[in-house]
Amino acid sequence: MFLLRVFLFLVLPSVALAEDKFHVDLNIGSVRVAGEDYDNGIAFDNAIAYAHKSVVYRIGALYLDGLEPAGARRDTEIEVKAIYLNIAKRLDVKAFALELGGGVVFSESEAEFLGRELAEEDDESPFINVKVIKDLNDFFSLQADWKYVDDLTGGDLHLLQAGVRFSF
């Protein structure tokens, strides 16, 4: 809750400035558990962002599915639902832009076997991310995103995603 208050404190005072933009990010990709024996899963990442000068403030929803321990029965699966707060620095390069940032993920994970819930865990985990953005016009952009989430429900995650951004 403290981080949400800090996030809102940083965002709200500067909302009315003309050079600022809002973004809607829609991404899909894969998730891999680092150093653990899991099959890769699928990641859905949607966010709303506010850009003030070269700083981007983002709140997003993350859904990870299909994480299966390798060698386990096919009916064993881990599902993660999360929201996250992110602050990033935008660096404009000639043909594209980079966003380098970090934040915190608030997650709820469920482990299921044969459709029955075996365990549920709530967690808060820090993450870092790198985003590459190619603006096609003032409204529409293509993007690629990598996130490293530290110790989310017992494992470090690598998310590699591609998607679109709508700016207004």
CATH number of the domain enclosing 115: 2.40.160.20
Whole-model pTM?
0.84
CA–CA separation, 3 and 9 (whole Å): 10
Q: What is the pLDDT of residues 55-97, one digit of tens each?
A: 999 999 999 998 888 777 777 888 999 999 999 999 999 899 9
Number of domains in the chain: 1
AA letter at 168? F
Q: Which of 54-63, 93-102, 118-127 has the lowest mean pLDDT?
A: 118-127
Q: How far is CA 66 from CA 49, 89, 133, in A?
A: 27, 32, 27
AA letter at 147? K
Q: Could you tell me the residue range of the domain that residue 99 belongs to?
A: 2-12+20-167
CA–CA separation, 125 and 121 (whole Å): 12
AA letter at 151? D
